[in-house]
Structure 1
């Protein structure tokens, strides 16, 4: 048994589960952070009041069953920005998009909600996990990289044994 060092070392499912729990634990606490002799208010992840009634895309028929779906989506988006920076709202609309069922007509691809992606990116930006990239989209900050790596470090993974008999 060994611990992971970075987000790339753990399985995506385990990391998203652990980081969404971390975001949920952070709650609605508002703190302050001293940076370059200026007080910057750091707002933690807040669950909007519309999360229980909103659909995640126009091709969905119902709202998500999981009450913590917002934290899971935020954790997944933070992981994707960590691995591949420069992602914006449109990229996340394509990533979380899917097939719209048109009854007897053929299905077609449909993007997911841009408002949800935009709101989560704004919240991650307020938490100083991501920042706006000059080339477009968002990129991970150094403090965001540190936080994600700390969460990944708490996840235990089993290293596969390689037989040296050959």
Structure 2
């Protein structure tokens, strides 16, 4: 693709985009402080919400079928970037949908394996944090949808990702 054309999240490699957006979230500090007052004009008060990392982020497993917590210390940023991308591409996904998306195979020893959902608390916490940041909003029909600010933010990061055509 030429550099003059605008790129969206759909135009770039998903893996590269999630890496870039998680680095953007970490670099911009949007996952640390709860809230900051940015502007106070008369009786107009604008708050800028940022994500806060939960205190359990280092010890929690991502699903019941997992044996250990993630090895990557920045896994929370990666999961938040992945959730934001999935809501960008398919609006209306809720906590139950993300439990199915991030679910996997439950090993049962000598018995056959079965599908098991992932943790709902992690998905719920990330969705609430993204909603406070203004990237997503609640859909009246159910689930979440991306806001115009969130779409602009994700498209800006997608524009910085290198597109390699094989």
The answer for unaligned runs of 5 or more in structure 1 is 161-166
Task: Report the CA distance shift for 1:74/1:16 in structure 2 as closer, same or farther (over 3 A).
Answer: same
**Within 5 A, what are the aligned runs for 1:1-166?**
2-3=2-3, 5-27=7-29, 28-29=32-33, 30-32=35-37, 38-159=44-165
Counterpart Cα distance in 2 of 1:82 and 1:125: 13
Q: TM-score, with normalisation over the residues of structure 2? A: 0.89
Provide runs of 4+ in structure 1 moved above 6 Å. Answer: none
**Structure possessing the higher relative contact order (Cα contacts under 8 Å, 6 or more residues apart):** 1
Aligned-pair CA distance for 1:43:
1.6
Counterpart Cα distance in 2 of 1:7 and 1:77: 13
The answer for unaligned runs of 5 or more in structure 2 is none
Q: CA RMSD in A?
A: 1.7
Aligned residue pair count: 158
Q: TM-score, with normalisation over the residues of structure 1? A: 0.89
